[in-house]
Structure 1
Amino acid sequence: MRRRPRSQVRGILRLPLLLLIWGVFALAMWIPAVHALAVDDHKTSQSFFYAGLCGLTVITFVALSVANRVPRYGMPGQLMTLLATFVFLPLYLAVPLQDALRNTSYLNAYFDMVSALTTTGADIFDGPGRLPQSVHLWRALVAWLGGLFMWIAASAVLAPLSLGGFEVTARAEPGRSDSSLRDSHRPDPRRKLILVTRALAPVYLGLTLALALLLVLCGDSGLVAICHAMSIMATSGISPIGGIGATQAGLAGEMIMFLFLLFALSRLTFSSDTVAVGYSRLDKDPEFRTGLLIIIGVPVLLFLRHWIAALEVNASDDLAMALASFWGALFTITSFLTTNGFESAYWLSAQEWSGLETPGMILLGLAVMGGGVATTAGGVKLLRVYALYLNGLREMERLVLPSSVSGEGRGNRRLQSNGAFVAWIFFMLFALSLTLICVALSAFGIPFEQAMILAVAGLSTTGPLIEAAGQVPIELGLMAAPAKLILCFAMVLGRLETLAIIALLSPNLWRS
């Protein structure tokens, strides 16, 4: 009798991975259902409750039909599951959202769920006041689960396949020296996935709850605190009040969120499961050090521009204004570098102090660079940027001393010998994808500047760029249906990255 629950759990874990993910999100629908019931929003509660119940019913029938099959699990199949999750799961997630709102199209609901699941956070609805509180909770929860999904997939799926940024590392597959992550005869992808989930899920949940509690202590309401905490950890930028400018937590809340944003700079801030070669110390990690250099360097340049620029600025030279502008730049730069997209309440002061009329270009550049490999951040990733930086230094050295031998490898054992070449290939693929998406959006009547912002926001999974980067915020709800689908494709491509899509088309991967 004691072994029966374990056998049932093992039977559930043998089900197809996509079915298990579907079940997790079906159960998650009851969280906004309970919240809506608590705030006397019975229509919204019914929408999420019955959608979750129907989903679990379908999952049960499918599970019974495949219960006697012995599944074959492999890395290509799990990579295909990642793609199917981001493309097809939002079809189900959009059902309760559309039913709860009753005044939006199914395509808009699907777009919003793709945006949330990929942690992009692009807001297609007109302002936060249009959505019920429970819907705000649902959007933040979907993004939070999407962030957890990428935390787990990075170590269990992308790293063994040398994808997602691991293609530039010296040895991509993690845990080869750890017997707990491999079988004695051959690797078991499903076992590795389970072990990684058990190790990372409590950390992800604990950090989120700790941040939410700190925000509540700073003065935020429970809903705002938990939504902002989930958005920070998932780097989705989803807010029930339209951003952190109107939050009650104030400066103290921004400082706390700033500290938790640092988790998106490097995976070493919360786990060392993907470290196979090189340093496992955070102070020696090239990603974290590169991120800190950008976070400190860009605000300092904006701060000094107050005195060195020829433009006239409308700001006083008092100390309080100077500190407020510096903090506004520091937080906002960090937020967009990690592809979160929250703007500090003092960001406007930073713009006035520096006299910068086009801050959108800086934000676009930061989002393209992105955060750390195997985190919830999007973009090109800091490790690839660092590899290209080292290659640039080496090429300049060879211009002066053509016969010199590089000694950079001794201090950068985390990068493989051709890491810069692979990083350059990815950067070219990213630029090509950006160009094609811009052309496709322009074909449906979107101006070039807006098409560029939309393409960067989708590929870097930084939805708040749509409102922050341009002179005039882009209204997503007014776009044509094909343009919305193109942007959905861009968000999925930005989340999985181009190399993963190309890998799925490779016959060698499936033969192996």
Structure 2
Amino acid sequence: MHSANAPTARSRPATDLDLRPIAATLGIVLSILGAAMLLPALADVSSHHRVSGADVFLGTAAVTIFVGVLLWMSGRSAQTKRLDLRQTFLLTFCLWTVLSAFAALPFMWGPPHLSLSHAMFESVSGLTTTGSSVMSGLDDMSPGILLWRALLHWFGGMGIVVIAIAVLPVLSIGGMQLFRSESSDKSEKFLPRVGTIAKGLLLSYALLTALCTAGYLFAGMTFFDAVTIAMSTLSSGGFANSDSSIGVFANPAVDYVAIVFMLLASMPFPLFARALTGDVTRLVTNSEVRLFLLIVAAFTLASFAQQTFQGVAHGEQAFRGALFTVASLISTTGFMAVDYTNWGPLSDALFFVLMFLGGCTGSTAGGMKALRLAIAGEAVRQHLKRIFYRNGVFPIRYGGAPVADDVVASVLGFTFLFFATFVVIGVSLSCMGLDLRTAFSASIASLSNVGPGLGPVVGPATNYSALPEGAVWMCTLAMLLGRLEILTVLVLLLPRFWLR
């Protein structure tokens, strides 16, 4: 028998999802974003630029910090000591969407006075380190707005995730789940404590940014250009301070500095954190790093040969153009030193394939990632062997170690979703009136967080401002899906996720 006051199945809540720790964590990170808006305000005040947005940045900072404090106060009394899986996925999604919305405010309220769709596109492109832009006339923009774009890249590249991990212990909430939900990889904890992870990643990220800044200064950049472009480089972002991107400098030294640090940004940052503790050998012996560098070398050689045989360029100029473009695309940075879309159809085919690949896992780069490509390739080879030797046992190995079946299944599942999403977005853009070259290159450029696509509409010499508004929103969604690696967003669409 049931007592009169006993809860029945019908009276139970449909969900037991506690939103308080999510609100508290989101409030802290949002307050940090608001405080960062004071830096562009200071840059505009100190520069005395004819178009200043200092008052706009001060206003948006006040609004952002105010909302952040309210969210923190609403959730700080949470008794939850550990995030469960559902809270982790929801927090990860909220971090990127809510922060993008507030990061868009300076683009709407002050110069360049973008529309809502364009402002969201620009902020999402910044935080997801895609580097696509709808803004033109960058050479005449105030230092504040240029610095804000670079800061969005820098925070998006590593800062948002690491900050979230660092602030969770303040709320007595474990943060390792958030770090893992940022990717569908099954990587091991590379250091014993979450706090050590955050410190190691932040320190290595900051040191590489400082070294990149020094390299650009040595190559002849001004201090402001060196700092902002270094932040774009290490985040694999691609925002520059000119409509001509890196090409405005026409300086081989700048190109080579960018190449070095774009490639470094594509390597696993956990290995850099290990290097700070004295374990440097893993940077050389890591199987994924070696595969990544082999892919870079192969595509560089192919592009160099194509330029040479077709008379596009010769010698060092052809080599530098090939290496810079390959490094820019495979790292998903999207800087442009030369307009590679003028190199012919073979070049378009090479670079279109390159947009899918991406850097290493644990890097700031987007794309498929070298580790997944290697495991998927091993799975195909295993299947082919089983066709000929039906009674044979062929375990999948990577880096000398066996790969668990669930990891292989996860990689293959992600690969299918990645290509399916690419096709759906490409077809959708085509239905909005874009030609196939533009539609599908914009699709993969957004999904892989590369930035520039192919052709005269979204190519490296132009931007995305000519797209219809629906296509702008579609590319914005693709950038978020790519940064969150699809699964983190799709799981929120399952009704079962919200049920008790």
- Shorter chain as denominator, the TM-score bin is 0.7 to 0.9
Q: Quote the residue 1:247 is aligned against.
A: 249
Distance 2:398 2:73 in 1: 55
Match of 1:450 in 2: 438
User: Are residues 1:52 and 2:61 paired?
Assistant: yes
User: In structure 1, what is the Cα distance between the partners aligned to 2:349 and 2:328?
Assistant: 15
- 2:328 corresponding residue in structure 1: 335
Unpaired segments ≥5 residues, structure 1: 1-12, 182-191, 274-278, 316-320
| Aligned-residue offset at 1:174 | 1.7
Deviations 1:349-386 (A, max 9, x none): xx99xx64442332221121111112111111111101
Q: What's 2:44 paired with?
A: 36
Name the TM-score, length of structure 1 as normaliser.
0.81
Superposed displacement of residue 237, structure 1: 0.7
- What's the counterpart of residue 262 of structure 2? 261
- d(CA) in 1 for partners of 2:160, 2:298: 29
Cα distance in structure 1, aligned partners of 2:102 and 2:316 = 47
Q: Partners in 1 of 2:196 and 2:307 — Cα distance?
A: 52
CA contact (8 A) 1:268 1:280 kept: no
Query: Which AA in structure 2 matches 1:54?
Result: V
Q: Which has the higher mean CA deviation after the structures are superposed, 233-242 or 387-396?
A: 387-396
Match of 1:188 in 2: none
Matches within 5 A, 1:402-481: 402-406=390-394, 409=397, 411-413=399-401, 415-465=403-453, 475-481=463-469
Correspondences of 1:207-356 after superposition (within 5 Å): 207-241=208-242, 242-247=244-249, 250-263=251-264, 264-272=266-274, 281-305=282-306, 312-313=310-311, 321-345=314-338, 356=344
Whole-angstrom CA distance in 2 between matches of 1:464 and 1:247: 19
- Mapped contact 1:165–1:381 kept (Cα < 8 A): no
User: How far apart, CA to CA, are the structure 1 residues paired with 2:366 and 2:205?
Assistant: 18
Stretches of structure 2 that go unaligned for 5 or more consecutive residues are 1-20, 166-174
Aligned residue pairs, count: 462
Displacement of 1:202 after TM fit? 2.2
Tell me: CA distance 1:71–1:130, structure 2 relative to 1, closer, same or farther (3 Å): farther
Percent of aligned pairs with the same residue?
23
- Stretch deviating more after TM superposition (373-382 or 259-268): 259-268
Query: Do the aligned partners of residues 356 and 269 (structure 1) sit closer, same or farther apart at CA in structure 2, a change above 3 Å counting?
Result: farther
Distance 2:456 2:214 in 1: 29
Alignment of 1:366-385 (within 5 A): 366-385=354-373
Q: CA RMSD in A?
A: 3.2
Q: Counterpart amino acid of 2:235?
A: A
Corresponding position: 1:499 with 2:500: no
Residues 366 and 450, structure 2, Cα contact 8 Å, conserved in 1: yes
TM-score w.r.t. the length of structure 2 is 0.82
Q: Deviations over 1:204-242 (max 9, x none)?
A: 122112211221122101121112101111101110023
The 1:507/1:281 distance shift into structure 2, 3 A limit, reads: farther
User: Does the C-alpha gap of structure 1 residues 101 and 305 become closer, same or farther in structure 2, counting only changes over 3 Å?
Assistant: closer
Which residue pairs with 1:318 in the alignment?
none
**C-alpha displacement at 1:450, in angstroms?**
1.2
* Superimposed CA distance per residue, residues 273-318 of structure 1 (whole angstroms, 9 cap, x where no aligned partner): 9xxxxx98233322111111111112222334467x6xx5355xxx
CA deviation string 1:97-116 (max 9, x = no partner): 22221543232112100111
Structure 1 residues 485, 160: CA separation in 2 closer, same or farther (over 3 Å shift)?
A: closer
Q: Could you tell me which of 97, 105, 124 is aligned with 1:87?
A: 97
Q: Which residue in 1 is equivalent to 2:128?
A: 118
Q: Residue type of the partner of 2:149? A: R
The answer to whether the Cα contact below 8 Å between 2:452 and 2:459 also exists between their aligned partners in 1 is no
Q: Is the 8 A contact 1:466 1:473 kept in 2?
A: no
Deviation string 1:152-184 (CA, Å, 9 cap, x unpaired) is: 3799335645x72414xxxx4425xx6x42xxx
Q: Which moved more, 1:72-81 or 1:148-157?
A: 148-157
Aligned 8 A contact 1:16 1:71 in 2? no
Determine helix, strand or coil for the equivalent of 2:401: coil
Partner Cα separation in structure 2 for residue 381 and residue 259 of structure 1: 19
Name the aligned partner's letter for residue 166 of structure 1.
Answer: D
